[in-house]
Amino acid sequence: MRPELPEARNQACEPDRECSYCPRLVAFREANRSQAPDWFNAPVPSFGPAEARLLIVGLAPGLKGANRTGRPFTGDFAGDLLYATLSAYGFAKGTYASRADDGLTLVDCRITNAVRCVPPENKPTPIEIKTCRPFLDASLAAAGSLIAIVALGRIAHDSVVQSLGRKRSELPFAHGREHDLLDYGAHGVTLFDSYHCSRYNTNTGVLTAEMFHSVFARARAKLDAL
């Protein structure tokens, strides 16, 4: 049976536009609103069908990507690789054009972030990650068909592990690792780890497109096997 996540019971899956839990992120949001009033500049909502079997968890919106466009991974380098990969494995339909109104739809796949507001320098603090976790708890609790999770980077991985009520020491992050959580939901859930698809990781060769594809190929195979 799906374990009850106590904090998730009455918790919304998405923060309000004016969420005020993290003072530093609120101040950054206000500064961005003044500087770029046409940008989205608010907690970025999850994207994709609620009944998706695959959930992708990123770190946090990029300043000029999701924070500008209002859709996770949309408008920055990380999104170019992510959406191309999702299309290649049948998780996206339509043409990705780096904007929230490009008509792209996700198929059996949903994307969320461990931290929903853009952090300065792409670096949320430990307390911001923890403060935002109830939204991830609620998102996982609401994902009734969940079978596979792809965590993009260690922070996303650790947040997912804690949202699932497990210890980080029990399920350490490693690129390419699969963690089978057999006691979760009707079919269990497999957590797939990947390095984050950031420009930095791809430019430095930490993550190649082939390495990234192979994670999604395994997630695809997992879903197709059921």
**What is the contact surface with ligand URA in residues (CB under 6 A)?**
44, 58-62, 65-66, 72-73, 76, 78, 113, 152
Cβ closest to ligand URA, residue 48 vs residue 62: 62
The residue count of the chain comes to 226
Cβ closest to ligand URA, residue 122 vs residue 131: 122
- What's the one-letter identity of residue 50? A
Instruction: Please report how the helices 126-142 and 154-163 are oriented relative to each other, as an axis angle in degrees rounded to 10.
Output: 60
Q: Nearest to ligand URA by Cβ — which residue? A: 58
Q: How far is the CB of 178 from ligand URA (least distance, A)?
A: 21
What does residue 30 show for φ and ψ, rounded to 5 degrees? -65, -40
Contact 72, 46 (CB under 8 A): yes
Q: How far is the CB of 100 from ligand URA (least distance, A)?
A: 12
**What is the Cα–Cα distance from 69 to 98, expressed in whole angstroms?**
8
Q: How far is the CB of 98 from ligand URA (least distance, A)?
A: 12
Cβ closest to ligand URA, residue 15 vs residue 61: 61
**What is the Cα–Cα distance from 172 to 108, expressed in whole angstroms?**
27
Q: How far is the CB of 182 from ligand URA (least distance, A)?
A: 28
Cβ closest to ligand URA, residue 44 vs residue 136: 44
Cβ closest to ligand URA, residue 78 vs residue 109: 78
| Residue 63: both structure tokens together | 């300043």
**What is the Cα–Cα distance from 129 to 127, expressed in whole angstroms?**
5
Contact 72, 44 (CB under 8 A): yes
Q: How far is the CB of 57 from ligand URA (least distance, A)?
A: 8
